[in-house]
Amino acid sequence: MRRLLGLLPPGTVAVGSGLAVLGLASYVHISIASHTLGGHSKGYGAFAVLWAIVFTIGLGLFFPIEQEVTRIVAARRVNGDGNAAAFRRGAMLSLVLFLVVCVLLAVFAPLIADKLFDGERDLVPVMAGGFAGLALAYPTRGVLAGTGRFGAYGAQLGIDGGLRIVLAAVLGVLGVRSPVMFGLILLVAPVISVVATAGPVRAALTPGSPLSWRTFGRRVAPLMASTLLAQVVVNIAVINAKLLAPHADALTGALLSALTLVRIPLFVFGSLQASLLPGLSSAAASDDRTGFRKLLLRACGIVLTLGVAGGVPAIVFGPWLLRLLFATSGVLGDGDFAVLAVGTAAYLLAQVLGQAAMALGHHRDQTLAWLGGTVALAAVTALPMDVKLRVEWAYTVGSIVVALILVGTVIHRTNRQSAADRAAHVTGRPAGAAGPDPGTGPGASLATAEPLAPGR
């Protein structure tokens, strides 16, 4: 076990513990909602769509802020620079994006309610609450991950997840049959978790060189585009099922439940992801080519193993678990789970390769890869097939296309990128800019090292 844990980046176990609670909370939350609201009911169908939208748009907008804050903080830590400017930029951008989303929700509330929630307008402000929880949490997690405070990072995840379990259980025991109440958990739990871990976040902040909006935005904008597209690939099946078959509430609910089961490896990967990006960024900043390559290859091997380990049980037991855990039956079979499991394995690999591209500073390449996957997804969705088959195969084909594009991208970029370019990308400043000199300290060899070459 010690040797196995030694293959993982530092902090994986601490983050994984918190993420295990948060992952369990997702299953408990959805399971209790399906049993209480009724697995084939309009209420559960509306809740399923709410869940899919919050985590498609919310993660797409706010998770990139965590990733970019993590990357900058980790790289500046290597070079002896402070991180307060990166956190301020991330927090302010989260606030601005949240306000923009609220304005759009207010303007289009009637249309959203009619098309997606069967006229339930109260779910629109609940959706805004879900976005608020994510907007608060992600900038703080970026600071905690970038400074290596993985215990506090895991604690925030654990508190969030624990509260989701407790609150959902209370609603279930009380027999509350309102999708609004189950949706409000997505606001209350993360807000309390952020307040509970505010102390470690404040302790992690250190003064340092300034970070311009232009520099921060130039990198976070393409990352945000790629993350939004990634969330579209992984979550759009539920939304498309609702739009293509408005009255098939059983299919909408079953797809959310099935995707929750087959994506168990994604929750496990989250514990690796939180420490993978700072690890890759630090290796790139210090010109540790061997470390970068080994960490990337290990991560790819781990996620492919996770894909198989999670996919096979999902195929075998998935239909039975839908009946047992989510009160949905007769909608999806083992063939449906097989298609979704293959898509999840490809999606995991694409996530790891995307982290590598971002650590090298090539955010736009990652965006183009996810754009290609989204185009493939749209093409499959437009085929004249059964709605269920269209949305399932669209997810899988889209994920495979992204993974294939990123494999070629990472190999090409690591072979061609110069050391000076890597220094500028990773530290957040052009070579020779004011502030701690990347040519001193752990990253001294960056200024003169030759490009990454295969076999070295």
What is the per-residue pLDDT for 416?
62
Distance, in Å, from the CA atom of 48 to the CA atom of 205, rounded to the nearest integer, reads 38
C-beta of residue 123 within 8 angstroms of C-beta of residue 98: no
Distance, in Å, from the CA atom of 422 to the CA atom of 426, rounded to the nearest integer, reads 6
What is the per-residue pLDDT for 427?
46
Q: Is the pLDDT of residue 53 over 80?
A: yes
DSSP string, 366-394: HHHHHHHHHHHHHHHHTSSS-HHHHHHHH
Q: pTM for the full model?
A: 0.73
What is the per-residue pLDDT for 431?
42
Can you read off the two tokens belonging to residue 354? 């995307």
Pick from 248, 207, 270, 254: which is nearest to 81 by CA? 207
Residue-wise pLDDT for 383-413, tens only, equals 988 888 999 999 999 999 999 999 888 887 7
Total residues belonging to the chain? 456
Q: Is 10 helix (H, G, I), strand (E, B) or coil?
A: coil
* Phi–psi pair at 342, nearest 5 degrees: -65, -40
| R_g of the chain, CA atoms, integer Å | 21
What is the per-residue pLDDT for 273?
66
What is the per-residue pLDDT for 227?
82
Q: State in Å, rounded, how far the first CA of the chain is from the last one.
A: 29
Mean pLDDT of 64-79: 86
212-221's contacts with Cβ under 8 Å and 24+ in sequence apart are: 213/89, 215/428, 215/429, 216/68, 216/72, 216/86, 216/89, 216/90, 216/93, 216/428, 217/93, 219/68, 219/361, 219/363, 219/428, 220/64, 220/65, 220/68, 220/93, 220/363
Q: CB-based contacts of 24: which residues, under 8 Å, 6+ apart?
A: 161, 165
Instruction: State whether the Cα torsion 176-179-181-183 is positive or negative.
Output: positive
Highest mean predicted confidence (pLDDT) among 23-32, 96-105, 218-227, 401-410 = 96-105
Mean pLDDT of 13-34: 85
Burial class (CB in 10 A: 0-12, 13-18, 19+), 150: buried
Residue-wise pLDDT for 174-188, tens only, equals 988 899 999 999 999
Residue-wise pLDDT for 234-280, tens only, equals 888 888 888 888 777 778 888 888 888 888 887 777 666 666 767 77
